[in-house]
Every structure is written in structure tokens, then in C-alpha cells.
Amino acid sequence: MASRLGPGVVSVRRAVAADVPTLVRFSRALSRHEGDPVHHVTEERMLADGFGRRPEFRAWLAELDGRPAGYSLDHDAYSSIYCERGIYLMDLYVEPRARRRGVARALVTAVARAARRRGRTYLWWTSNDGNADAHAFYAGIGARIEAVRLHVLGTAALNALAGRRKTSG
């Protein structure tokens, strides 16, 4: 999918295994931006988890004038409230040089079109409370804000709750 969306030509395509180094670079940049650790984001994990026998996610790569400019990563979701299948947009990242040039819109549009082709009825994601630029963009594409609180059991807490200690090695 290629279109002119502001200054420059934006194109979006499904990422392939050869794109993993770029996806890792973008994922680490997003993690740094959000104050998250980056040491766990490796090419080996991204390759195995996204492009192996049983992919856990789909990734999309956006280019601006032929150069990588951003990515998104999504996976299937299900709403028991509405009994509908959807997509959870885990990551959406655009390099600073490419922001406000249609890259994020093109990425979300590609995910939405793929979701519709697969019979999915909704797209959802979370954003950091203080990310006003992202909130304005999301409102501009028609997203509504829902008052929810995100809860996470990280590895240590998950293992403790499940009754197993994390083994090293």
C-alpha cells in the first residue's frame, strides 16, 4: 500500500524476517521513549517469536521515501463482552524525523484493513497517560478513550503467583 500522505511518499508492508534488525531498532527506541528496558529485545527473540513456526504477532513496516520510518506490531484479541474477534495493537512507533508526515496513520490503516479482511471487528491499544501527541492523533482517526487501568504481572510476579521460582540460566 503506497500513498502520498503529506511531505514524502509513505508505504506500508507486512514485515518479513529480513526486517528483524530494523524492527528491533524501532522496538528498542519505543521502549526507551516509554522508559522501559531494552535488553530483552533481541533479534533472536523477535525472529523466533514473530517469524518462526508459530508466530505470536504480526509486524508492519512503514517507509518514508523508501527508508524505514516506523513499525507496528499486533496480535489477535477477543472480547468476551461482545463475543467478537479483534486485534490488539501492541506497538506503534514512528521515528522522530518522520512524525506528522502520515506514517502512523498509514500503519494503523494497514492494520485496520488487515483486521477487516480477517473478519475482525475492532482494534484496541493502550497509550501512556502523558502522551498528549499520541492522544490527539488517536482522536483524529476516530478512536475513543476508555477509562481503564492496565495491570501487568511481570515475570517474577507471574512465577510467584503460579507457584514457581524463576530459574537462572
> What is the b/e burial string over 59-93, where b = at least 16 CB atoms within 10 angstroms of the residue's CB?
bbbbbbeeebbbbbbbeebeeeeeeeebbbbbbbb
What pTM was estimated for this model as a whole? Answer: 0.88
Confidence check: pLDDT of 167 > 80: no
Residue ranges and CATH numbers for the domains of the chain are: 2-162 (3.40.630.30)
pLDDT digits (tens, 9 = 90+) for 59-90: 999 999 999 999 999 999 999 999 999 999 99
pLDDT digits (tens, 9 = 90+) for 120-163: 999 999 998 888 999 999 999 999 999 888 899 999 999 999 99
